[in-house]
Amino acid sequence: MFLIIALLPNNILRVIFGLPVVLFFPGYTLLSALFPRTGGLQGIERFALSFAMSLAIVPLIGLGLNITPWGIRLYPILISLSVFIFTMSIIAWLRGRRLATEEAVSIQIEFKFPALPNIWAGQSLKDKIITIGLVMMIIGAIGTLGYVAALPRTPEKFTEFYVLDSGGKAENYPSIITLGQSGTVILGIINREYEITDYRIEIKIDGVNSGEIADISLNSEDKWEQAVTFTPTYTGENQKIEFLLYKSTATDVYQRVHLWIGVK
């Protein structure tokens, strides 16, 4: 799957190989590590619980990634899932090798070609209806998966615009400033527009223009950060410091952030 994603990012094979990695293997390897004996869980129970456990594990991994510098992106998720699956597999193998062969969990696949007409004739009407329903559901699921995979998807286009304190964190913003002194913050832009985009920023204090940053050009997924200072010209409480983001030469504000300060 690593090779397919790296070399064929938009191929249907990515979906075929990716679904079990996300929806089955995390839960299956964890259950194998926790219950290495065949008597702990029966085959159908282990199979069903593997899906349920995967649906619980994958969001937790994503939650953990969300608080890291890597974030929830393709390769961090892919690497994290692979490390989890590999680790659980090693634990399951180490625990399973201590058991007798007949006690350890194993998967056996037997290829038999029974006489289908005889099997069909021996089923009751109720079993035939259930079988037909299951076959139709499987065909429908495969068809839906193929349609979704083949349907071209337009990614959401947006721009991240944020303000940080002088230390690069979203906490200790300037709140009280002495007249004649300046406040400092860090403005940031991340281009999620999937194209080269030009930006400019206007700085306003209580609605009055106080400065401008122009000629900011970012490629898709590029990030821009810069320290910005502002200097109030009169005293007063609850002065609004606005940072207005514009796209290219547009006159409408695209994004805005603001702070409230008091000036002594």
Instruction: Kindly report, residue by residue over 139-158, the tens digit of the pLDDT.
Output: 776 677 667 666 666 678 89
11 Cβ contact list (under 8 Å, min separation 6): 4
Question: For residue 11, what pLDDT band results from cuts at 50, 70 and 90?
Answer: confident
Separation between Cα atoms, residue 187 and residue 227, nearest integer Å: 6
Under CATH, which architecture does the 158-263 domain have? Sandwich (2.60)
**Is it the case that residue 253 has pLDDT exceeding 90?**
yes
Q: Of how many residues is the chain composed?
A: 264
Separation between Cα atoms, residue 44 and residue 38, nearest integer Å: 12
Q: Give the domain ranges of the chain.
A: 2-109, 114-153, 158-263
Residue with tokens 């527009």: 193
Structure tokens at 187: 């403005």
C-beta atoms surrounding 140 within 10 Å: 10
Structure tokens at 83: 């490390």
**Is it the case that residue 115 has pLDDT exceeding 60?**
no
Name which of 34, 27, 35, 106 is nearest 61 in CA terms: 27
Separation between Cα atoms, residue 246 and residue 80, nearest integer Å: 37
Single pTM value for the model: 0.48
Task: State the pLDDT at residue 48.
Answer: 79
Instruction: Kindly report, residue by residue over 58-105, the tens digit of the pLDDT.
Output: 999 988 888 888 888 888 888 999 999 999 999 988 888 887 776 676
Task: State the pLDDT at residue 188.
Answer: 95
